[in-house]
């Protein structure tokens, strides 16, 4: 891993198949090891800043973010998914151009980036304990164990953990069985799982249609209309009956 940040002036990064950027070459290969070294792009930095915003009221130290990442700007497109980045003197908040962020790591345990990770974990735990009524307070060790387990599974499967996911796994962390929605906590009762509920099978609609006890009101109305409808010839008018009677009387008189 990198050992110092003072002499690093440029780096070449590659866009991986996972749509994340990975460092391929650096100007200071004596102090920096590019094996598995990742870097966040401008859109990822913006997303991280959005996730940090709710932590402001829980004593988030914003300065730790600025020291945790070394800003780089795009210098040249090298083609084939490679670009050359050069060191920038601008801060992420005031930059007029998109900036990449390389983790400022001296070693795995002692570095500005490690301080940032430890700090946001602590603040996230404070926020969760404030918003969720746990039976027992959530601890930093519990959060770190959950996240470390997921990262170890990725390592076993041969997948490197990008620093963007390392940060967002902390900023998005919620214990299993709980949710945060607009600062409101919603829990899933212990032992209750959606998979425990039986599946509802669709009934055979053709059999339902054949059931004479299940009829729509409209069908009944149509049947009533059919019963009241007279299909025979139109009835004779009263005038025709009178004319017929007169003719019969004349025939009788002639006889």
Angstrom distance (rounded) from CA 153 to CA 144: 14
What average pLDDT values come out for the chain (255 residues) when binned by 10 residues?
A: 65 93 92 90 95 94 94 94 94 88 80 95 96 92 90 73 94 88 43 33 36 41 50 52 50 49
Are 106 and 115 contacting, i.e. CB atoms less than 8 angstroms apart?
Answer: no
Q: Please say whether the beta carbons of 27 and 9 come within 8 A.
A: yes
Tell me what pLDDT residue 181 has. Answer: 65
Name the residue among 160, 33, 151 with its Cα closest to residue 102.
33
Q: What is the pLDDT of residue 156?
A: 72
Name which of 6, 83, 1 is nearest 42 in CA terms.
83
What span, in angstroms and rounded, lies between the C-alpha atoms of 124 and 116? 12
Is residue 177 within 8 A of residue 133, CB to CB? The reply is no
| pLDDT at residue 182, as a whole number | 54
pTM score: 0.67
Q: Tokens 């996730």 appear where?
A: 51
Task: Identify the pLDDT of residue 246.
Answer: 52
Return left, alpha or beta for 74; rule: phi > 0 is left, psi -120 to 50 is alpha, else beta. beta
What long-range pairs does 177-183 form, CB within 8 A, spacing at least 24?
A: 178/132, 180/128, 180/131, 180/132, 183/131
| CA–CA gap between residue 80 and residue 14 (Å, rounded) | 8
* Closest C-alpha among 23, 63, 59, 58 to residue 40: 23
- The token duo for 111 is 């570095």
Per-residue confidence (pLDDT) for residue 21, from 0 to 100 = 96
């Amino acid at each position: 891993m990198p050992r110092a940040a003072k002499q690093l002036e440029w780096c070449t990064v590659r866009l991986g198949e996972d749509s994340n950027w990975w460092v391929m070459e650096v100007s200071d290969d004596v102090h920096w090891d590019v094996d598995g070294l990742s870097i966040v792009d401008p859109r990822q930095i913006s997303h991280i800043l959005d996730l940090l915003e709710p932590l402001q009221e829980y004593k988030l130290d914003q300065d730790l973010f600025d020291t945790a990442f070394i800003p780089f700007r795009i210098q040249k497109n090298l083609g084939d998914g490679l670009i050359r980045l050069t060191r920038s003197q601008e801060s992420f908040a005031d930059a007029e151009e998109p900036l990449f962020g390389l983790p400022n790591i001296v070693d795995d345990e002692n570095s500005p980036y490690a301080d940032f990770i430890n700090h946001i974990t602590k603040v996230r735990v404070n926020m969760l304990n404030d918003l969720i009524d746990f039976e027992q307070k959530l601890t930093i060790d519990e959060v770190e164990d959950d996240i470390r387990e997921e990262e170890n599974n990725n390592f076993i499967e041969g997948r490197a953990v990008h620093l963007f996911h390392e940060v967002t796994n902390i900023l998005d962390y919620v214990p299993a069985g709980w949710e945060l929605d607009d600062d409101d906590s919603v829990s899933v009762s212990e032992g209750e799982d959606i998979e425990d509920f039986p599946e509802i099978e669709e009934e055979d609609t053709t059999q339902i249609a054949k059931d004479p006890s299940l009829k729509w009101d409209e069908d009944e109305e149509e049947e009533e209309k059919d019963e009241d409808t007279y299909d025979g010839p139109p009835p004779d008018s009263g005038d025709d009956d009178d004319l017929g009677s007169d003719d019969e009387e004349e025939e009788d008189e002639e006889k």
